[in-house]
Chain A
């Protein structure tokens, strides 16, 4: 895969150079992320060599790890497994949000943070960074950041975080949305 990346790298840089300077970093990350999605193949199973004998019986294997489709997002945002484990449990299918409170000042900011986190949660489940409005409303009520009269307005005011959609349709994270989600995950893990 590294050889292919080397071969494609000049093309990626050329594409990035066509975007305005302030957006080049984001563009680079997005393109690289998509490249990984397109080129990542499941790793072959490791050879059955005998592992070093454990001192005590090992802990149970976690059922299902991070889906491959999420790995580029984690890499692009410098999110390690340790960081992810502080925010979601488990870090694969059936992931649950661990945070007891959602970061942000005021209900609107919290709602946006929550929507981004739910999209990542769904990605851990299925690989797609999406979230239904039904789930968002339910979780927003749970986390006390649901403001009914401003729900749509808040999502509309932060539409750059989501791919274009019709009213009432599911949310899907855009490039800036994924970047912001990465920042939120890191801030929760850092205990901020």
Chain B
């Protein structure tokens, strides 16, 4: 069953019923056709609730609240009943179904299937060090821990950037940082930090923002690529610190597309 489609159909009919109830000039809903439509719509709702109950996408308490409101509405529809009560119940059912069931279902089903596109993106990567982070990141995404997924995937990026930069040799790396500091070009004039590394692990202490700027300086990235990688780092920082931002699966997929293309599968970083 296409649950989203079925919920949309139920909502469409409920909104139509709501309009007709609002139009009534009587104080009660007494017409047989309108009451029958309520019961028929309830019959269409029952299989959907069955599917939602067996899954774990939507909150059981919210589902129960909507189900209780439905029971009360169908009871009202059994005989002529006050319009006011109909209106109140219809409002609860429509609002909750839309925001707490349908929207949550769509986002939840996106989470359930997010692993496939992410695995497809990282499929060409063979490096076990990178796969260690990426596999954990994807498993986080599949359990709806999107922020953790973003942070772990960045670990793979940072690992590759560190490895590439340290492969230059510490002396060369120090010299390139000094050259970048001296560069007064638009892109680099704001960089004023002195970095003097003694060993490879020292590089891990440098800010990722500075390391990727050096990658731009060394032309491993062009301006556009750098801009997108900086965007990915900003997302990682937003997820790795206490903020109110909660990226959704769509954002995560775009982030993965960027980091794989810009670094993880970029031959310049090989």
A residues at B contact (CB < 8 Å): 56-63, 85, 89-90, 94-97, 133-134, 137-139, 141-142, 146, 148-153, 167-168
Contact = CB atoms under 8 A, between A and B. Distances in A.
A11 to B, nearest CB: 42
B96 to A, nearest CB: 12
14 contacts: A57-B219, A58-B219, A61-B267, A63-B261, A63-B266, A90-B257, A90-B261, A96-B254, A137-B106, A138-B250, A149-B8, A150-B12, A151-B8, A168-B2
Interface residues of B, number: 40
B248 interface: yes
A60 B268 contact: yes
Nearest to A97: B254
Q: By DSSP majority rule, is chain B's interface helix, strand, loop, or mixed? A: helix
B5 interface: yes
Interface stretch (B79-87, B126-134, B186-194, B220-228): B220-228
A137 B121 CA distance: 22
Contacts of A134: 4, 109, 113
Give the one of B4, B15, B265, B267 with max A CB within 10 A: B4
A59 B103 contact: no
A63 B266 CA distance: 8
Interface in B239-267: 248-251, 253-254, 257-258, 260-261, 265-267
Nearest to A59: B222
Q: By DSSP majority rule, is chain A's interface helix, strand, loop, or mixed? A: mixed
Contacts of B157: none
Given A138-B110, A141-B106, A152-B8, A94 B260 contact: yes
B156 interface: no
B131 to A, nearest CB: 18
A142 to B, nearest CB: 4
Given A59-B219, A96-B253, A142 B103 contact: no
B267 A168 contact: no
Contacts of A152: 5, 8-9, 12
Give the one of B8, B228, B253, B257 with max A CB within 10 A: B8
B7 interface: yes
B98 interface: yes
Nearest to A62: B261
A59 B220 CA distance: 6
Nearest to B9: A152
Interface in B1-47: 2, 4-5, 7-9, 11-12, 15
A99 to B, nearest CB: 11
4 smallest A-B Cβ distances: which pairs? A59-B222, A142-B250, A96-B254, A60-B268
B258 A96 contact: yes
B219 A149 contact: no
A60 B220 contact: yes
B230 interface: no
Contacts of B107: 138, 141
Nearest to B253: A96
B106 A63 contact: no
A56 B219 contact: yes
A123 B145 CA distance: 30
A148 B8 contact: yes
A148 B225 contact: no
Contacts of A133: 2, 4-5
Give the one of A63, A89, A138 with max B CB within 10 A: A138
Contacts of A57: 218-219
B265 A63 contact: yes
Contacts of A153: 12
B5 A142 contact: no
A149 B15 contact: yes
A170 to B, nearest CB: 12
Nearest to A56: B219
Contacts of B121: 94
Contacts of A142: 248, 250-251
Contact of A94 (B8, B220, B257): B257
